[in-house]
Structure 1
């Protein structure tokens, strides 16, 4: 293990000495681009949206009864209820009302915190697109649209994990190119009643504006903020998410962690990395102060201390192409 001091390597130098073939992004990467991504909980955001736009009391009671703050399993449960009621000739007005009410609350919560398409410079999409090309595989636990927008800006060279109709098939995942795997789903993905996954064909602003407008039976596939065991339960019920986590657990070469804190709510990601036993981990640290750097280093040493075959290296996050200060987008004062 490295000596715990406040020194941080520059990314270009570190990557030249110890190259990484895979990248794992966390919320810190999105927050570096757009500060409003720093919200604590999407469920709480939906509660704060107000009586007309937010989650109704009946909606919140449903989340509580199911013991979760994840939107996908609640919407899926309502979908299954509606289908079962239809088969039994039972009135479905109540579950349908809750389904549309929760989707409306989700839509308003996302729009309140997400980076608007109109504010994204083309140069920023180009920079992110180029940064991703340094890796063979890119994993992200973020469900926002930054990566989908950047990849669609210039898709050549990126692997297509979905067929021409937009469907994912776990039996056909050997596409050539840079793989980008969304470990917690994304606003561009939909879950079908049978657990299969479809990628939306919309682009640009429509990818955000219409993320929850879909045919009956399909729900947005993303795992928002919750306990790790709840996230893992949702992952097991999705072919795409389960496959993606399994791929992370096989990363044997150098892995770069950027904006990824791996706290208790992401224990399943930590366990996948421990299972993989990569040759080394290059970990981004923001140099806020000497004490902060030391605390962040200790945080990761504590998590990976049981991996004697894995070397830990720390670098200054602002020297990475995804952490450059000039990428940060300033929004209108009303948004800030």
Structure 2
């Protein structure tokens, strides 16, 4: 692809899709933001320091710094291990457990401050997302929100249950058929067990988000929220489900549609996986913010995947990002001036 010949034209996805069928879809935060703009937060770690109810304190922040991470999953896992070691050695300190609950509570409040409530998602929106996900044998999502999971629960027939009910993720028992939604960075409905295995919360609808606060004591939410690519990959490699999902992306066969994904430096592990997979072609959605933006994004992807056949399209023409799916965020009523 000649970088000097790139222009701002973006065809409609409905015109492009029949000519370049894709066996997979890679979803990023932009796809969730198209439905709920509050998903446009820069950092959950930063937000957890600013929430009104019990934000991260200085002691909590010192733990993140000591572990050189901004990943809640890594810090909570470390604290959980410390609690178990203390119990085995009859050390009576309650500090690790107190910090576990404090950090988890800050995470809960931060997540609730950005996530769309289940009651505000129109049933038709869940039906549309469900229908669009079914167009692909495999959907890879780096989002940890509940939109895709709620949509699958809306009409689960035909989707593979990779967790076999409440038995947890087990490679030996994976179903052989069905559309697959793989959460590359985990998600709010997934939990990490003490042995680094994974299980799925069985709640549905609003209970999934509401119940995020009342998991069993010691439960660690399984989602890799942020940080450098090396940090994310470390978390991925330490978990059976995430490691398997990453391997599936790295061995993808056929065409791949990329929607709402920046694929910046913090996503280097995903970029490397895509380069190893070398999809037959890439269909990349770009939001048409301006002509200069479109050209810059085309250059970004063409440089990342030099040598791979690719086409670009208007992301807002894809069934998952059409403007009519956007749910307005209620205005925050401020205090009246005296």
Judge conservation of contact 1:212–1:220 (CA < 8 Å) in 2. Answer: no
Q: Which residue is 1:39 aligned to?
A: 41
Judge conservation of contact 2:161–2:175 (CA < 8 Å) in 1. Answer: no
Q: Which residue is 2:198 aligned to?
A: 197
Judge conservation of contact 1:166–1:201 (CA < 8 Å) in 2. Answer: no
Query: By how many angstroms is 1:331 displaced?
Result: 2.0
Q: Report the 3-state secondary structure (helix = DSSP H, G, I; strand = E; otherwise coil) of the residue aligned with 2:74.
A: helix
Judge conservation of contact 1:160–1:175 (CA < 8 Å) in 2. Answer: no
Q: Which residue is 2:315 aligned to?
A: 317
Judge conservation of contact 2:184–2:245 (CA < 8 Å) in 1. Answer: yes
Query: By how many angstroms is 1:171 displaced?
Result: 2.3
Query: By how many angstroms is 1:335 displaced?
Result: 8.5
Query: By how many angstroms is 1:63 displaced?
Result: 0.7
**Number of residues of Structure 1 aligned to a counterpart in Structure 2:** 332
Cα deviation code 1:122-181 (max 9, x no counterpart): 000000000001000000000000001000000001111011324100222243110000
Q: Which residue is 1:303 aligned to?
A: 304
Judge conservation of contact 2:118–2:205 (CA < 8 Å) in 1. Answer: yes
Q: How far apart, in 1, do the equivalents of 2:304 and 2:165 lie?
A: 41
Judge conservation of contact 1:161–1:175 (CA < 8 Å) in 2. Answer: no
Cα deviation code 1:71-129 (max 9, x no counterpart): 01111111110111101000131001100100110010001011111111000000000
Normalising by structure 2, what TM-score? 0.96
User: Over aligned residues, Cα RMSD in angstroms?
Assistant: 1.3
Judge conservation of contact 1:54–1:105 (CA < 8 Å) in 2. Answer: yes
Q: Which residue is 2:91 aligned to?
A: 90
Cα deviation code 1:166-206 (max 9, x no counterpart): 41002222431100000000000000010100000011111
Spell out the pairing of 1:51-90 with structure 2 (5 A cutoff). 52-90=53-91
Whether 1:328 aligns to 2:329 is: no
Q: 1:231 to 1:333 in 2, by over 3 A?
A: same
Q: 1:212 to 1:244 in 2, by over 3 A?
A: farther
Q: 1:335 to 1:30 in 2, by over 3 A?
A: farther
Spell out the pairing of 1:87-236 with structure 2 (5 A cutoff). 87-236=88-237
- Segment drifting more, 168-177 vs 204-213: 168-177
Q: Report the 3-state secondary structure (helix = DSSP H, G, I; strand = E; otherwise coil) of the residue aligned with 1:194.
A: coil
Q: Which residue is 1:29 aligned to?
A: 31
Segments of 5+ residues of structure 1 without an aligned counterpart are none
Judge conservation of contact 2:196–2:239 (CA < 8 Å) in 1. Answer: yes
- Segment drifting more, 185-194 vs 91-100: 91-100
Normalising by structure 1, what TM-score? 0.96
- Segment drifting more, 214-223 vs 10-19: 214-223
Cα deviation code 1:280-299 (max 9, x no counterpart): 00000111221111011001
Segments of 5+ residues of structure 2 without an aligned counterpart are none
Cα deviation code 1:16-69 (max 9, x no counterpart): 01110100000000111111100000000000114x511111111111111101
Q: How far apart, in 1, do the equivalents of 2:172 and 2:133 lie?
A: 25
